[in-house]
Structure 1
């Protein structure tokens, strides 16, 4: 297998001229398909929980019958019993980005596209991201290989005959690619992986989000608003377990991770956490087909931090289109659509079919 550097374009609309507009419009205004998810709750080894939202052909309808939002059906006691699948049934496990969920614009678009192609789709929620606080003072972080492993083990156990693929968006892509590099040949059961708009160098991304108007006054406050809300809930659950005052004073993601995410997950602070959990150093160790897709105008990720051919193994394809923003790969006439990204994923996943 030869390493590829793909610079082919994502045909972004001309009325979205830059990475900022492409990012914000896709997240806020591109029409989102409605999806029917069935939620399964799995228990972790530390007595916490992870929620997985499924959509399985023959078991779940693709879309709701009415115009109301399709809230997930929660399976907390009953095991999910999928129908028998043929040995060639393709399946996709999706890992969302920072503060994302199965309702994120990219998750719904990808799920809808692949279900139309008769794929099984499962969207795994990181702890505390499924709409209900998790049970421990800890939460989730960008390099949580143990939880990725737990999720993979579970979905393989549920559907052992499926041909599994995995995709991670942004933070979820970082965790997935790091884990893929760590596991090397042991992931031979997985057909392929893909990381989309991945902050491969967490320090470079953090520094980028601390500079410029949008980074300082739009993106960072957006993330901190929901993250701090969860922290207030954790302080009520676990009084004195975290430094609530220092965390709530955070003005940047570095401050937040230095006060909470790093220490609560066993790191010395944000610098130690970001350095050890960046996936870029692990790209050389990947031993299964992997697509790493980053727009060069991503407002979160400086172009200078993107990997080149020398930074990756021969199993990795780097796709670095000029436009697309951060998970903002919308195309077509107003109000545009989000089909280019899932089509690109399908093309990569099926190249050996």
Structure 2
């Protein structure tokens, strides 16, 4: 489904370099979105950031972007891609997951990979707001896994017309194990630090945690999932949480046309699992040799790509239907 080959920048080779470069080497225009507050069934709220192109008629393409772990509407890839989509004439909604970004004070609960009902609420809200538009859900990393899981569980009732998942961890156990090995431990500690900071910023979450967690916070992502994510999510163990969140067993039930994009040298997600997973005929996979985790900084621009963020333009192509 992707016609443009990815060639990594000659000075940014390897999965780690691409991952780090993709995180820090970017720029985006100032924030100009309109916010929508969506109330969830349990009373918590999430926020959607609506970037609408000028002269919008209500008939154009719409994208809903779902961020990854420790991200929000302001993450680099979210800001870049929203700008490119609106510049191409497409309307874009950036989702802040429960307790994230602008929704930090609007939720007593916390987000996790099993909160797929929150993604369903966001997509349903956009469907109601844009009833005549073709809607594409685009999930990044954890957001990609959540959207895939939702599509597999809802089947024909999935509230979007198409789905693109970029670097999704489809098996949470294997992803967790991979992040505790070698240089990958640095990412594990990095995410744990960001997530602990997010908990500390939310007084409602702090009140739900045991005193020992606040006194001696988790140092790795696996420890955070065990001591924070699982108990706050109502799971009896981290294994129960991973089983509820991993989309690997429901890919065969996905009905919406779906594209999964990942890189073989991704240091965070085990892309080999994506290639070997049992998926429905609606699911297409594209695994590049290089690109890291949400990096894809190109050294040879594909035809029509104005800059080196190869991943961004593949999202624009998919939303536009050019694939």
Question: How far is 1:166 from its partner?
Answer: 0.7
How far did residue 42 of structure 1 move?
A: 2.0
Aligned-pair CA distance for 1:46:
1.7
Q: Which runs of 5+ in 2 are unaligned?
A: none
The reply on whether 1:85 has 2:58 as its aligned counterpart is yes
Secondary structure of the 1:111 match is helix
The separation in 1 between residues aligned to 2:135 and 2:11, in whole angstroms, is 37
Q: Equivalent residue for 1:323? A: 290
In the alignment, which of 249, 252, 257 is matched to residue 284 of structure 1? 252
User: Does the C-alpha gap of structure 1 residues 176 and 249 become closer, same or farther in structure 2, counting only changes over 3 Å?
Assistant: same
Residues 173, 198 of structure 1: 8 Å contact kept? yes
Q: Residue deviations 1:237-257, cap 9 Å, x none? A: 466522242364322212111
Counterpart-to-counterpart distance in 1, 2:20 and 2:273: 22
| Partner Cα distance (2:174, 2:144) in 1 | 16
Residue 25 of structure 2 is matched in structure 1 by: 29
Q: Name the structure 2 match of 1:200.
A: 170
Cα distance in 1 for residues equivalent to 2:139 and 2:206: 33
Query: Counting helix residues as a fraction of each chain, which structure ranks higher?
Result: 2
Output aligned runs, 1:273-352, within 5 Å.
273-308=241-276, 311-332=278-299, 337-351=307-321
CA distance in structure 2 between the partners assigned to 1:345 and 1:225 by the alignment: 29
Q: Deviations over 1:185-234 (max 9, x none)?
A: 123x6321000011111111111111113x22x31222122211232344
Q: Is the CA contact 1:284–1:312 (under 8 Å) kept in the aligned structure 2?
A: yes
Query: Equivalents in 2 of 1:298, 1:160: separation in Å?
Result: 37
Q: Which runs of 5+ in 1 are unaligned?
A: 60-82
Q: Is the 8 A contact 1:10 1:321 kept in 2?
A: yes
Structure 2 residue 8 is the aligned partner of structure 1 residue 12? yes
Aligned to 1:56: 52
1:100-249 residue pairs with structure 2 within 5 A? 100-187=71-158, 190-213=160-183, 215-216=184-185, 218-234=186-202, 236-237=203-204, 240-246=207-213, 248-249=216-217
Distance 1:220 1:157, change over 3 A: same
Q: Distance in 2 between matches of 1:196 and 1:239?
A: 32
Distance apart, 1:331 and its partner CA: 1.5
Q: 1:109 to 1:352 in 2, by over 3 A?
A: closer
CA distance in 2, matches of 1:193, 1:47: 27
Pair 1:44-2:17 in alignment:
no
Per-residue CA deviations over 1:122-153 (Å, capped at 9, x if unaligned) read 00110121145244542001121211111112
1:283-305 deviations in Å (ceiling 9; x for gaps): 11111100011100001023433
- Secondary structure of 1:307 counterpart: helix
Distance change in 2, residues 1:94/1:252 (3 Å): same
TM-score normalised according to structure 1 size = 0.83
